Structure 1
């Protein structure tokens, strides 16, 4: 009898599910920086075979979330605050340049009207929250850089955005930070509407640095809380 062909879609689907589950564990600090585990651990916990687990882990490794240990399984990559600082520096440089390029365009890009409508809701109750606010904020910055018209600048900026997502998302877990984002985005758009690149760049820099400081503090707090919870579970024998 002819052996049935394997379904590559099924294999990819399991790998995707494992990938999303592990990434969510990392993002929610159920797996904290420095945690070690084996492919077998993950396979047993998620009721999956080792092949899709390995595929998911290699994907997370390429994205910089985990690293393989020689003969010792895997580890959630320790948090590198210096790298985060360097990525933020590069992000600021690109976005400041975008402000100047936008103001030199012959006419304002149409996306500015769309962003004004989005970030100036008629009532505070219409403001997005949580993951929706995070996604909209990410889109705001990416669309401004894209509006400058330099495709390579936009591509590099998207890569930086992806690498910073794990920390930037924490900025939208506090209501005061969401409110600040709406107000600061409106100020940046005002400066662009007035064709004032220096003010737009200054407002944007202050906005990004304020967010960076907040998420760094929240990250340290989350890591401490998760480490204490891990210790308590081990002590109770759970």
Structure 2
């Protein structure tokens, strides 16, 4: 059985999708980051980075419990465990791996910074918001080009590279981008949204509540590492 430590972020949604697509049984254990639950000693033992997602597989390698942190690593672990959603052909496998890393190193961080500077950083942060909006637009354009002439990000197969990028690329409106400018990305998003596993995953995400709208200023400061929680 897999214990899945989660809330609702795009990085968490990837893992919901993979678990549902593979039809793996799991126990959902919510960690409300807006209520600072990620900082408890118990969760810090699971993930020293103090963030979700994380999983603990009671039937890990050798039949022993095993903990995996970082969403890209969790996707690779679950793909290895099940043998699903990774190409058998080596060239296609490394195409998939490259694009998984593109999401982890570029798409996710750039979108995350744009959300922070445009929605949470407060006044006087126009430079940050402008810079990251530019970077996000550029990476969306890269995905638009990538999805021109191929059905999925890694090529002909639906893989964990698609699962990784999907929660971010479907958020164009939330990010302040015009989805209509990227018709191939838009069509790909709609194709993935129609999958039963994706539908189940998004439905479960929609049931999760958090303290985001009621978090105190101190809780927000601790979450973002600012104010008295900033490290010089």
TM above 0.5: no
Greater C-alpha Rg: 1
Give the TM-score, by structure 2 length: 0.22
Choose between structure 1 and 2 for higher RCO, CA contacts under 8 A separated by at least 6 residues.
2
Give the TM-score, by structure 1 length: 0.21
